[in-house]
């Protein structure tokens, strides 16, 4: 069964509806009963187990190989002795459906499943009349690609995605297409403690690649794929106090639901529009209210006003759909206006005059002091001369 997703065809909008929380049962043909259960990572995972109950008392033990996953007693279990403690990595993460155990249902709930939980599980149930061992449950974990992020700096585009299982792959392309050899990329895949994969790829922008291209990064795994698009929208120069319009080129495909966010230097959002089934909600973040005209829309773009030099930098417009993210960026340069320059000059000249007056005054005072000191020294010298003379005459 090959259900891998590939990035080769960009127009091929493959979307497989993931049945969240659903279990997939595939009974193997082998004599030894083995079930496959597929769970989404970080969600509650249910491992089924049934047994013959006498309705009086039962002890339920779940194992993964030899490791104890869970060990519990229900009702009158005076027929058993001892208790096994679950392994540390399962402590606090498991539970049974207490009200159903004495009816013969020892189904296990495993919370916050991670790729490290993959493997073969079975349950042993003990009642006064008998002991049962369940078939083997082969647990498969899936962590689909949730978000792909694309960022740019002067000469590098970075594409990344986190918390994926099984291992993803990543490819770069451009629109219009460029020779793949011109797309110098470096891709790193890392596995974290819990078994999830993080992937990060750097694309060097060489001089040969035109800046009016759209850069496309596609991350795919066995379960799904997500694509990020990055494009330069415009370069704008505005005087301080002036305004700009940050627009977004929307993808050609018609979208029913998407989120659009304008950001400054890829940090906190300025404003956003969420569209769900053609109904939309708009929001402006408080910090930006003094600089945003409130009548912004998807088609007319975001209009900013009263910009200062601190508003210089990159503005991005980010459109997220369930499968794709489109980022366009506009760089805005804010120049000091001439009036401000005049004030600066006046301040500098006033400062200089003040400094000159101050230093002249200090010089005059110093001059007087030095003259005074010299006079006193001369007088003292005369006095000592007189004294020695009078000594000599005695
Ligand atoms: C528990 O079961 C044992 C026999 O299996 C019986 O002798 C005992 O009385 C029961 N205790 C209670 C509290 O029902
Ligand atoms: C056992 O209990 C779980 C949790 O309530 C339930 O989902 C499942 O259907 C039950 N199994 C049977 C065979 O009744
Ligand atoms: C990127 O790098 C990988 C090897 O790291 C290479 O196989 C691939 O062809 C490169 N180019 C693109 C466009 O992904
Ligand atoms: C849009 O944003 C809302 C709320 O922030 C979120 O619930 C929804 O999943 C987002 N939709 C897409 C397509 O990213």
- Spatial separation of the C-alpha atoms in residues 68 and 280, rounded to whole Å: 51
Instruction: Give residue 80 CA to ligand 1 midpoint distance, Å.
Output: 12
- Spatial separation of the C-alpha atoms in residues 264 and 330, rounded to whole Å: 10
pLDDT of residue 24: 29
0.75 surpassed by pTM? no
Residue with the bigger pLDDT between 233 and 354: it is 233
Token readout for 253 is 């495909």
pLDDT of residue 372: 66
- Tokens 């704008």 correspond to 236
- 70 neighbors 110 (Cβ within 8 angstroms): no
- Spatial separation of the C-alpha atoms in residues 139 and 115, rounded to whole Å: 10
Ligand 2 atom 12, closest CA: 105
- Spatial separation of the C-alpha atoms in residues 62 and 12, rounded to whole Å: 44
Residue 212 has pLDDT above 90, yes or no: no
54-107 per-position pLDDT tens digit: 999 999 999 998 899 999 999 999 888 877 888 888 999 999 999 999 999 999
77 in contact with ligand 2, CB cutoff 6 A: no
Instruction: Give residue 129 CA to ligand 1 midpoint distance, Å.
Output: 13
pLDDT of residue 377: 64
| Closest by CA position to 248, among listed 210, 297, 294, 282 | 297
Rounded mean pLDDT of the chain?
A: 82
44 in contact with ligand 2, CB cutoff 6 A: no
Residue with the bigger pLDDT between 377 and 52: it is 52
pLDDT of residue 248: 87
Ligand nearest to the CA of 101: 2
pLDDT of residue 84: 84
pLDDT of residue 104: 94
Phi, psi of 122 (to 5 degrees): -150, 160
Q: How confident is the model at residue 338 (pLDDT cuts 50, 70, 90)?
A: low
DSSP string, 186-208: EEEEEE-TTS-EEEEEEEE--TT
Ligand 3 atom 6, closest CA: 185
Ligand 2 atom 5, closest CA: 97
Residue 238 has pLDDT above 50, yes or no: yes
Say if residue 323 is preceded by a cis peptide, omega within 30 of 0: no
307-336 per-position pLDDT tens digit: 998 899 999 999 999 899 999 999 899 998
Residue 340 CB contacts under 8 Å (≥ 6 apart), including other chains = 240
98-147 per-position pLDDT tens digit: 999 999 999 999 999 999 999 999 999 999 998 999 889 999 999 999 99
274-291 per-position pLDDT tens digit: 988 878 899 999 999 999
Ligand 2 atom 10, closest CA: 105
Query: How distant, in Å, are the alpha carbons of 183, 201, 206, 208, 219 from that of 179?
Result: 7, 18, 12, 10, 20
Helix (H) or strand (E) holding 350: helix 338-393
- Spatial separation of the C-alpha atoms in residues 209 and 231, rounded to whole Å: 13
Instruction: Give residue 107 CA to ligand 2 midpoint distance, Å.
Output: 7
355-381 per-position pLDDT tens digit: 777 777 677 676 667 666 667 766 665
Q: How confident is the model at residue 26 (pLDDT cuts 50, 70, 90)?
A: very low
Token readout for 68 is 């104890």
320 in contact with ligand 4, CB cutoff 6 A: yes
149-192 per-position pLDDT tens digit: 999 887 899 999 999 999 999 999 998 888 877 788 999 999 99
Residue 276 CB contacts under 8 Å (≥ 6 apart), including other chains = 257
- 260 neighbors 145 (Cβ within 8 angstroms): no
Token readout for 97 is 């459906």
Residue 20 has pLDDT above 50, yes or no: no
Residues β-bridged to residue 272: 261, 283
Candidates 37, 45, 100, 135: which one to mutate for ligand 2, based on the most atoms within 8 Å of Cβ?
100
């Amino acid at each position: 069964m090959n259900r891998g997703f590939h990035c080769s065809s960009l127009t091929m909008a493959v979307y497989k509806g993931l049945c969240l929380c659903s279990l997939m049962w595939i009974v193997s043909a082998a004599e030894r009963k083995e079930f496959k259960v597929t769970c989404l990572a970080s969600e509650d995972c249910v491992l089924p187990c049934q047994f013959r109950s006498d309705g009086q008392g039962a002890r339920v033990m779940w194992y993964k190989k030899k490791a104890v996953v869970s060990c519990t007693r229900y009702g009158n279990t005076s027929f058993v002795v001892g208790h096994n403690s679950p392994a540390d990595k399962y402590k606090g993460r498991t539970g049974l459906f207490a009200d159903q155990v004495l009816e013969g249902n020892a189904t296990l709930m495993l919370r916050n499943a991670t790729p490290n939980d993959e493997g073969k599980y079975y349950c042993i149930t003990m009642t006064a009349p008998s002991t049962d061992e369940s078939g083997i449950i082969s647990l498969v974990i899936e962590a689909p690609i949730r978000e792909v992020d694309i960022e740019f700096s002067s000469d590098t585009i970075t594409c990344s995605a986190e918390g994926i299982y099984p291992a993803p792959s990543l490819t770069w392309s451009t629109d219009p297409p460029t020779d793949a050899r011109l797309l110098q990329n470096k891709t790193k895949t890392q596995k974290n403690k819990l078994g999830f994969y993080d992937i990060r790829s750097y694309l060097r922008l060489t001089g040969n690649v035109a800046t009016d291209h759209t850069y496309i990064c596609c991350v795919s795994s066995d379960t799904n794929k997500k694509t990020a698009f990055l494009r330069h929208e415009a370069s704008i120069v505005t005087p301080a106090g002036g305004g700009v319009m940050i627009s977004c080129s929307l993808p050609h495909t018609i979208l029913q639901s998407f989120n659009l966010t304008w950001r400054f230097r890829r940090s906190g959002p300025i404003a956003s529009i969420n569209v769900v089934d053609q109904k939309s909600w708009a929001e402006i973040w408080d910090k930006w209210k003094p600089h945003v005209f409130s009548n912004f829309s998807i088609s007319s773009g975001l209009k900013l006003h009263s910009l200062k030099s601190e508003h210089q930098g990159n503005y991005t417009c980010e459109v997220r759909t369930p499968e794709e993210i489109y980022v366009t960026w506009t760089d805005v340069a804010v120049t000091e206006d001439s009036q401000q320059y005049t004030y600066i000059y006046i301040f500098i000249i006033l400062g200089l005059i003040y400094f000159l007056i101050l230093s002249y005054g200090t010089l005059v005072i110093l001059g007087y002091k030095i003259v005074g000191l010299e006079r006193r020294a001369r007088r003292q010298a005369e006095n000592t001369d007189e004294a020695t003379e009078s000594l000599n005459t005695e």
